[in-house]
């Protein structure tokens, strides 16, 4: 299986998120959240943060299978931007 680790800098240029992109059996991909800023006083449950757990590791929750590394990277970038907005404003995504 393939794996790639990258950093993503938010568009406001203030925070780096780190992801590990891993190909799963069957050819789909997951974006594991390796490092991110604190949610501070915001709720951290799976529903509010759009994260799921796999053996203690958190990954980005998405509504459909991610079929390529490029697609997984786009979803992770969107998730990071929405998460940063959630931390800053409390507006859920």
Render pLDDT for 21-67 as a digit per residue (tens, 0 to 9).
999 999 999 999 999 999 999 999 999 999 999 989 999 999 999 99
How many whole angstroms from its chain centre is CA 64? Answer: 14
pLDDT for 34: 97
For 46, list phi and psi in degrees, rounded to 5. -60, -40
User: Structural domain boundaries of the chain?
Assistant: 3-89
Residues in the chain: 93
> Could you give the CA distance from residue 60 to residue 67 in angstroms, rounded to a whole number?
14
pLDDT for 44: 96
Number of other residues whose CB lies within 10 A of the CB of residue 51: 20
pTM of the model: 0.93
The yes-or-no verdict on residue 92 having pLDDT over 80 is yes
The yes-or-no verdict on residue 1 having pLDDT over 70 is no
pLDDT for 51: 97
């Amino acid at each position: 299986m393939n794996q790639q680790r990258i950093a993503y800098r938010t568009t406001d240029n203030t925070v780096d998120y780190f992801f590990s992109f891993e190909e799963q059996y069957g050819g789909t991909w997951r974006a594991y959240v390796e490092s991110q800023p604190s949610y501070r006083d915001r709720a951290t449950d799976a529903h509010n943060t759009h994260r799921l757990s796999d053996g203690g590791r958190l990954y980005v929750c998405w509504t459909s299978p991610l079929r390529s590394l490029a697609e997984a990277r786009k979803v992770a970038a969107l998730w990071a931007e929405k998460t940063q907005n959630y931390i800053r404003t409390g507006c859920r995504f």
